Amino acid sequence: MSDTSMTMQQRSTILHLEDVYKRYGELLILDDIDLSVKEGELCTLVGPSGSGKSTLLRLILGQEQPSAGELTIAGKVAGTPDTRRGIVFQRYSLFPHLTVLQNVALGRNLQTGFLERRRRRKEFDEEAMHYLQRVRLGQHADKYPHELSGGMRQRVAIAQSLLTKPPILLMDEPFGALDPETREEMQIFLLELWDEHRMTIFFVTHDLEEALFVGTRILVLSQYYTDGRGELPNGERGARIVADYHLPQMASSTEIKHNPEFVQLLEHIRQEGFNPNYLQHARAFNLKHPDSFQTLSEVEHYTATSVTTSS
């Protein structure tokens, strides 16, 4: 896959986070996040429950601001939510009293005033219909969300988020509420859409297998590591990106999930990010992606090398 990496080198950076911290009161959630993402990557983000994955997405969305550090989109401060980012949640992103078409058109309607909306209604409806067809739901435009299956509802939510053509699409466990079969269909569907649009996607999931299957890059966010700062007063530390791998898309067939290399990487990542008894040192994080970088504090820099402990 050297062709892919060549073109990746030439693409520009769309998202850049440097020394980003996020606190809620006394609690440090994100602890010095460094991340650089190029246009067109499909990044998946995994990590233990409560490690701060959704918090990181909210920072990228601009719904929340970092406590410290810098977060830019195409070189400009991320600021508050705007059309540079779209988001799809696990569920509840549709209005039950609006039809499927009206739900999709909402993206445009919220951006325009009442009079303009009235004047351009036909145009907006046609545009919404176009996106509905893209997610293969053209025939269901006049239905209400409760008349659709879970997978169909998520496709509506995806159409809604695509409408404003956001350069970055954020997805927080978008397929988490679906049964395994529908989930697999949606994973393939997402890959097809990504192939067609080539936008940058940031995809949070609990499911490591899903993350490895859909991603071109996997980021592991975890609070299980050591860094020479000693134990913090509450015994906890904020999460950092402890692993970052380039994933050559081995095949767009689900058979890859049974490939021994795939299974081995999955086990490796499970150990690195999810096992509280296995603590990598911050200096020894597995940051194998070509765009990965990390700034270390003086303490982290000078303390002993990898103290990997297993028990």
Ligand X SMILES: Nc1ncnc2c1ncn2[C@@H]1O[C@H](COP(=O)(O)OP(=O)(O)OP(=O)(O)O)[C@@H](O)[C@H]1O
Which residue, judged by CB position, is nearest to Mg ion in the bound state? Answer: 54
Q: Is 63 in the site for Mg ion (CB under 5 A)?
A: no
Question: Cα–Cα distance between 110 and 129 in angstroms, integer?
Answer: 17
| Burial class of 62 by CB neighbour count within 10 A (0 to 12, 13 to 18, 19+) | middle
Question: Binding partner of residue 88 among ligand X, Mg ion, none, CB under 5 to 8 Å per kind?
Answer: none
Which residues, 6 or more positions from 284, have their beta carbon under 8 angstroms from its beta carbon? 305, 306, 308
Residue closer to ligand X (CB basis): 50 or 81: 50
For the bound state, the minimum distance from the C-beta of residue 47 to ligand X, rounded and expressed in Å, comes to 6
Residue closer to ligand X (CB basis): 55 or 292: 55
- Pick out residues in 252-281 that bind Mg ion (CB under 5 A): none
Q: How far apart are the first and last CA of the chain?
A: 38
For the bound state, the minimum distance from the C-beta of residue 177 to Mg ion, rounded and expressed in Å, comes to 13
For the bound state, the minimum distance from the C-beta of residue 85 to ligand X, rounded and expressed in Å, comes to 17
- Pick out residues in 34-53 that bind Mg ion (CB under 5 A): 53
Question: Cα–Cα distance between 290 and 203 in angstroms, integer?
Answer: 19
Question: Binding partner of residue 52 among Mg ion, ligand X, none, CB under 5 to 8 Å per kind?
Answer: ligand X
Contact residues for ligand X, defined by CB under 6 A: 24, 29, 47, 49-55, 206
Residue closer to ligand X (CB basis): 47 or 174: 47
Residue closer to Mg ion (CB basis): 54 or 286: 54
CB atoms within 10 A of CB 260: 7
Q: Alpha carbon 86 to chain centroid distance?
A: 11
Question: Binding partner of residue 49 among Mg ion, ligand X, none, CB under 5 to 8 Å per kind?
Answer: ligand X
Question: Binding partner of residue 29 among Mg ion, ligand X, none, CB under 5 to 8 Å per kind?
Answer: ligand X
Question: Cα–Cα distance between 42 and 248 in angstroms, integer?
Answer: 11
Residue closer to ligand X (CB basis): 134 or 237: 237
Residue closer to ligand X (CB basis): 232 or 299: 232
For the bound state, the minimum distance from the C-beta of residue 212 to Mg ion, rounded and expressed in Å, comes to 19
CB atoms within 10 A of CB 182: 17
Question: What sections of the chain are H helices per DSSP?
Answer: 2-10, 53-61, 100-109, 114-119, 121-134, 150-162, 180-197, 208-214, 260-274, 298-302
Q: Is 54 in the site for Mg ion (CB under 5 A)?
A: yes
List contacts with Mg ion (CB under 5 A).
53-54
